[in-house]
A and B are shown apart, each in its own frame.
Chain A
Amino acid sequence: MTSYTVGIVVFPGSNCDRDVSWALEGCLDIKTKFIWHESSDLSGIDSVVLPGGFSYGDYLRCGAVARFSSLINSLHDFVRTGRKVLGICNGFQILTEAGFLPGALTNNKNLNFICKDVELKVHSQKGGWFKSFIDKNITLPIAHGEGRYYCDDYTYKELLDNDLIALKYIDNPNGSTHEIAGILNKEGNVLGLMPHPERACDKNIGGIDGEFILRNLVKY
């Protein structure tokens, strides 16, 4: 497993990149490599994480500018090879803006920045991301001001028909369409989540439900 390398993309304004690295290296013994957003070189990278933060200051819309980076351009080919990509929070916003995932994320219904642990229901087993959690609820922290997932009825039906809804909030904190907290692409290798699994990888600081999700970045 030590040769397996997870690339963590660093944009100007990313602030969860080191948390993801700590969780993967320190808690799971998975090798990581930081990749600056201007690079298009994903050679030797087995999975990619787009971390949380405020890429490009969230100017215009969250993730709107990041999608034009060299790295995101090369990510299209990377995804086509079937390798896994996890977008967390701002990373999820970038994945929707760049068209890897359907829908959009916009400001929370109550306009507050919400930072708390939330209970979530695992809905899809696609891609093997949640294989430890069949029919279980999990608890992960959220920390966002613009995490309200929105999609139209047609897109929602597509999500349902293809089993692409990964996670739903039990107590919808931000007003997301149909309580959606995370979705997958049709192939199952791209996952976008508003909750932060990297902040739930140590039982001493808030649980380990995130550890199992991050562990599944690695294909056994």
Chain B
Amino acid sequence: MSQFLVKVFIRLRPSVLDPAGEAIKSAANKLGVDGINSLRIGKLIETELEASHENEVKEKIELLCDRLFANNVIEDYEYQLEKK
């Protein structure tokens, strides 16, 4: 068995309003940083898991993303994995 480090990025779908992102964008403007055209907030989940090969990790992560980590009505996900 090998150890894998997986980073899952979860984002609100583009069609879903992100009021928290809008609030941070407004604060960023007040900080004096201009030129920000869009700002949206997502989630990062880092997990370490063991599996015999990379495809097994992908199967596990995709099940987790589809059923738990993301709500596919409002969110999209992508992930990066590396063997430790």
Residue of A whose beta carbon sits closest to that of B74 = A104
The segment from A22-30, A105-113, A125-133 found at the interface with B is A105-113
Query: Is B5 interfacial (CB-CB < 8 Å)?
Result: no
* B12 proximity list for chain A (CB < 8 A): 106
Give the total of A residues in contact with B, Cβ under 8 Å: 20
Report if B32 contacts A (CB, 8 A): no
Query: Does A152 reach chain B (CB closer than 8 Å)?
Result: yes
Q: Let me know if B20 and A150 touch, CB within 8 A.
A: no
B interface footprint on A83-110 (CB within 8 Å = 1, 0 otherwise): 0000000000000110000111011111
B47 located at the interface, meaning its Cβ lies under 8 Å from any Cβ of chain A in the complex: no
Query: Is the beta-carbon distance between B20 and A103 smaller than 8 angstroms?
Result: no
Q: Are B20 and A107 in contact (CB under 8 A)?
A: yes
What 1/0 mask marks residues of chain B from 11 to 35 whose CB sits below 8 Å from any chain A CB? 0100111011001000000000000
B73 touches A103 (CB 8 A): yes
Residues of B within 8 A of A106 (CB): 12, 16, 74
**B2 sits at the interface (CB 8 A):** no
A205, CB-defined interface residue at 8 Å: no
Instruction: Name the B residues within 8 Å of A108 (CB-CB).
Output: 19
CB distance from A64 to the nearest CB of B (A): 7
- Residues in B40-70 with C-beta less than 8 Å from chain A: 68-69
Q: Is the CB of A60 within 8 A of B20?
A: no
